[in-house]
Amino acid sequence: MDKNSKIYVAGHRGLVGSALKRRLESKGYSNLILRTHKELDLANQQEVNEFFEREKPEYVFLAAAKVGGILANNTYPAEFIYENLMIEANIIHASYRYGVKKLLFLGSSCIYPKLAPQPLKEEYLLTGPLEETNEAYAIAKIAGIRLCKHYNQQYGTNFISVMPTNLYGPNDNFDLETSHVMPALIRKFYEAKINNEPEVIVWGTGKPLREFMHVNDMADACVYLMENYDYSEIGEFVNIGVGEDVTISELVELIREIVGFEGKIKYDTSKPDGTPRKLMDVSRLNKLGWKAKISLKEGIRETYEWYILLRSQPK
């Protein structure tokens, strides 16, 4: 990519898309194409094709997706599989039809089998059953990886796929009904603190292990790969993560400390834990010359400060 290349960031208002936009702009990329959902419905094939025909983007970051935590995935599985399949199929096919030079598709670590060996290596894809609570989302993301692979095989495109670990940071979703664990906990502890509540209830046992990556690191890795590597060098996809994990209870204590909540923590063991462990093997990414830089404590503190600022804004 050169600094004047036409770059389309699909999903630029979300957690990942907004981080990609910030990173590209900070590196001097000045010709970004951005559309809100109101301006362009990515699940509508005709709208997507007309947009690509009109704008002719040279590079595409496919960060648009319907996302959520265990509760949302479990409650709305049909929406998760349908909307994600439509979005990725429309954009990937349009990128082929209208001559996009390179596309980066963002998947998710939930693509791996529930009981796959740890840490998760890229070759473990499709070697066992998926975690039931997010199977619909995972199947859609696996389909996206395979779309890229087979378009590359049949049409000679240069579509690369990356699988990020659990992400957090500015522009995260803090809705308790649909959020992931990190923003949900930040909000719970913040509200418990300001309301002087005696305890915070946490879903599950606190024992599952999770890896967390600041979204700014994720964006940096994506731009690095787009600038430096083609599909032939990356292979079917590459994991993006920090290569370290913590228990949910360790995460809870870290957030409690940063927020300054002094009450009790109660674990609701009637709620599901999800996958026992999800740690990414990032050796392939490290060999490509990239490593994460933001520590978990530093990242949570920054995200908490952003959330406080968000809460202080007039509605």
What does the pLDDT look like over 92-102, one tens digit per residue? 999 999 999 99
State the DSSP code for 283: H
pLDDT at 131: 86
**Angle of CA points 139, 142, 147, to nearest 5°:** 125
CA 88, CA 86: separation in Å to the nearest integer?
6
**256: annotated binding-site residue?**
no
Question: Which CATH architecture best describes the domain 7-312?
Answer: 3-Layer(aba) Sandwich (3.40)
Give backbone dihedrals phi and psi of 239, rounded to 5 degrees, phi first: -70, 145
| CB-based contact 186:305 (threshold 8 Å) | no
**13: annotated binding-site residue?**
yes
Can you read off the two tokens belonging to residue 275? 């996958």
CA-based torsion, 35, 38, 44, 46: positive or negative: negative
Query: One of 8, 29, 96, 137 is an active-site residue; which one?
Result: 137
β-bridge pairing 159-164 and 264-268: unpaired
Domain residue extents for the chain: 7-312
pLDDT at 263: 96
**273: annotated binding-site residue?**
yes
| Four-point Cα dihedral 146, 119, 106, 300, nearest 10 | 170
The residue ranges of the chain whose pLDDT is under 70 are 69, 315
Nearest to 195 by CA among 262, 268, 249: 262
pLDDT at 124: 97
End-to-end CA distance of the chain: 39
162 strand-pairing partners: 106, 238
Roughly what angle, to the nearest 10 degrees, separates helices 135-155 and 77-97? 10
What does the pLDDT look like over 153-191, one tens digit per residue? 999 999 999 999 999 999 998 988 777 889 999 999 999
Give backbone dihedrals phi and psi of 268, rounded to 5 degrees, phi first: -90, 95
pLDDT at 67: 78
**175: annotated binding-site residue?**
no
Can you read off the two tokens belonging to residue 201? 């209830």
pLDDT at 113: 92
Note if 224 is an active site residue. no
